Chains A and B, each alone.
Chain A
């Protein structure tokens, strides 16, 4: 019995190849276990912090379900732009008569644009970008057209779904909604 023990411990001590042959002995296994457990704790900590500081999901979805009714479609003239402060957007009616609802944030760095009636374009006061009535870029530094909200017409009334906002890379006629 004691011989066996001695032989084992001798092997442990003398045979230098032992450690390499055996992928994990008890000590290094426990060491790695501790490191892994520590890693898991750190991950959990980050997860905990994340759940606390992320934007509150409940209030956000509530807001996004909002649908704005903007009155009779016929009251809007072709080639005009109407500000809708309640939805933070502009409702534009193209020359062809299609409706576009566009976010009022400049796509460059998010400043609030205004509609310049004289020049017939949206101007950004911060960094000088300009957009056409259909939202297309006519002056950089902005690189992409204004974001679109989903517009639909129900019983002759223009409605905008504030929950459905999309980016677009170019401007075309199919984006406008007709009566």
Chain B
């Protein structure tokens, strides 16, 4: 009981306990992380990280009485934790919990998300089947497009220019020791900083009035709610794992590529960009810009009455809805247009670099100018609109990559949608 007081204050405002304040997303991610640790440790007893034995050992795991279930839990938790962490990031951003004292914690969260994606990626290779081998191969080749440091980085991370025994060994160590260890350490700071910031962000009660919030004890008011979310989530994952099987294709064959080869689903946004833009734009410039944007977000000036409110303000909400609608209409339209009309009707460097990059810069600049001058929006509102637009774009690109790309990465309707 005392232990919980390390995590929570003895008393806290009523609003901080409401489910709709956080949707329990951070806690859910933690529960999934614990599930991953536990099932991962169990899998280690059976798994053999060598090229010859990796696939047979996973097959053996599948045939053990509860082995398939354990693997399914690990697989499902891994998919869910990526989704939940992304939603957690969205929630924190949309309630303005990223600036001021929470700035440091936003950065830690970004690092955790990055390490989490690395962790998911390194785990993807371990079954050593066709699916994992080729997905990791194409991701490793993406590094070759990075100027100057790309080849060196690829050599280091993948232990050579080809995915082979050394890569499997590297990924195994990273996935089972390095990355989970790093995440654990970072999470300790992540939670501690929440405590230091006095819990989740809350909207200012009433402008001008002194802060009078009715408080409730964290046990049971908060702890019981958390337990409810955690237990429901556990139940959901454990039950789903009975019915949904983690995929296991044919054993990896470096001489035979399947058609098509897709990266792990959380990287399909980048692979989708790669279909439309030059490698340098899709693999280096766009992801770097996105990372920089996320990293610089906490520099936004949030006014006191804006922090803690969903979508900053009413105007922020309408701006966000408009941005969402624009992205929802324009991105699929552009994807379809590009598949009908191929790009190069200009000299290469104009069509490949100047037009997409310059065009995007001008559009964003114009939109920002419009929002500042004409709509008189505050900095926080403008950042919100941009963020919603880009987040929607990323989600659409990823969904397109997952469901609407068939053989040779041509646009197709998924089988469950075809009439």
Residue B134, interface by CB 8 Å: yes
Using known A-B contacts A55-B155, A85-B255, A110-B138, determine if residue A125 contacts B408 with beta carbons closer than 8 Å: yes
Q: Number of A interface residues, CB 8 Å?
A: 23
Residue of A nearest to B167 (CB): A55
- For B142, B259, B409, the residue with the greatest tally of chain A CB atoms inside 10 Å of its CB is B259
The answer to whether A112 touches B256, judged by C-beta atoms less than 8 angstroms apart, is: yes
* 21 A-B pairs with C-beta separation under 8 A: A55-B159, A55-B166, A56-B166, A60-B160, A85-B255, A109-B137, A109-B141, A109-B261, A110-B140, A111-B137, A112-B255, A113-B257, A124-B257, A126-B257, A126-B261, A126-B409, A127-B275, A128-B408, A128-B409, A141-B274, A141-B275
By secondary structure, the B interface counts as helix
Which residues from B are CB-within-8-Å of A85?
Answer: 255
Contacts of B254-280 to chain A: CB distance below 8 A: 254-261, 274-275, 278-279
User: With A and B bound together, what is the CA distance between A151 and B159 in angstroms?
Assistant: 27
Residue B325, interface by CB 8 Å: no
Residue of A nearest to B253 (CB): A112
The answer to whether B259 touches A54, judged by C-beta atoms less than 8 angstroms apart, is: no
User: With A and B bound together, what is the CA distance between A137 and B142 in angstroms?
Assistant: 19
Given contacts A50-B156, A125-B260, A141-B275, 12 further A-B contacts (CB under 8 A): A53-B170, A54-B156, A55-B156, A55-B159, A55-B160, A56-B159, A110-B137, A110-B140, A111-B261, A125-B257, A127-B409, A128-B409
The answer to whether A109 touches B170, judged by C-beta atoms less than 8 angstroms apart, is: no
Which residues from B are CB-within-8-Å of A60?
Answer: 160
Which residues from B are CB-within-8-Å of A124?
Answer: 257
Residue B410, interface by CB 8 Å: yes
Which residues from A are CB-within-8-Å of B278?
Answer: 143
Which residues from A are CB-within-8-Å of B141?
Answer: 105, 108-110
Write the nearest CB–CB distance from B261 to chain A, whole angstroms: 4
Using known A-B contacts A128-B410, A143-B279, determine if residue A54 contacts B155 with beta carbons closer than 8 Å: yes
Q: Number of B interface residues, CB 8 Å?
A: 27
Using known A-B contacts A56-B166, A110-B140, determine if residue A126 contacts B254 with beta carbons closer than 8 Å: no
User: With A and B bound together, what is the CA distance between A127 and B278 in angstroms?
Assistant: 15
Write the nearest CB–CB distance from A149 to chain B, whole angstroms: 14
Interface string of B123-141 (1 = CB under 8 A from A): 0000000000010011011
User: With A and B bound together, what is the CA distance between A108 and B145 in angstroms?
Assistant: 9
Write the nearest CB–CB distance from B393 to chain A, whole angstroms: 21
The answer to whether B134 touches A127, judged by C-beta atoms less than 8 angstroms apart, is: no
Which residues from A are CB-within-8-Å of B159?
Answer: 53-56
Using known A-B contacts A53-B170, A85-B255, determine if residue A109 contacts B409 with beta carbons closer than 8 Å: no
Q: Which A positions have Cβ atoms within 8 angstroms of B?
A: 50, 53-56, 60, 85, 88, 104-105, 108-113, 124-128, 141, 143
User: With A and B bound together, what is the CA distance between A113 and B254 in angstroms?
Assistant: 11
By secondary structure, the A interface counts as loop
Residue of A nearest to B158 (CB): A55
User: With A and B bound together, what is the CA distance between A98 and B217 in angstroms?
Assistant: 84
Which residues from A are CB-within-8-Å of B256?
Answer: 112
Which residues from A are CB-within-8-Å of B138?
Answer: 109-111, 126
Contacts of B380-408 to chain A: CB distance below 8 A: 408
Residue of B nearest to A63 (CB): B160
Query: Which 8 residue pairs of A and B lie closest in terms of their CB atoms, listed nearest first?
Result: A128-B408, A110-B141, A109-B138, A111-B257, A125-B259, A126-B261, A55-B159, A109-B141
User: With A and B bound together, what is the CA distance between A125 and B156 in angstroms?
Assistant: 28
Which residues from B are CB-within-8-Å of A108?
Answer: 141
Residue of A nearest to B344 (CB): A140
Write the nearest CB–CB distance from B319 to chain A, whole angstroms: 36
Which residues from A are CB-within-8-Å of B410?
Answer: 128
Residue of B nearest to A85 (CB): B255
The answer to whether A109 touches B166, judged by C-beta atoms less than 8 angstroms apart, is: no
The answer to whether A126 touches B259, judged by C-beta atoms less than 8 angstroms apart, is: yes
User: With A and B bound together, what is the CA distance between A104 and B255 in angstroms?
Assistant: 9
The answer to whether B259 touches A109, judged by C-beta atoms less than 8 angstroms apart, is: no
Which residues from A are CB-within-8-Å of B160?
Answer: 55, 60
Residue of B nearest to A124 (CB): B257
The answer to whether B261 touches A127, judged by C-beta atoms less than 8 angstroms apart, is: yes
Which residues from A are CB-within-8-Å of B134?
Answer: 111, 126
- For A50, A56, A105, the residue with the greatest tally of chain B CB atoms inside 10 Å of its CB is A105
User: With A and B bound together, what is the CA distance between A88 and B163 in angstroms?
Assistant: 13
User: With A and B bound together, what is the CA distance between A104 and B260 in angstroms?
Assistant: 17
Which residues from A are CB-within-8-Å of B279?
Answer: 143
The answer to whether A127 touches B408, judged by C-beta atoms less than 8 angstroms apart, is: yes
The answer to whether A126 touches B260, judged by C-beta atoms less than 8 angstroms apart, is: yes
Which residues from A are CB-within-8-Å of B408?
Answer: 125-128
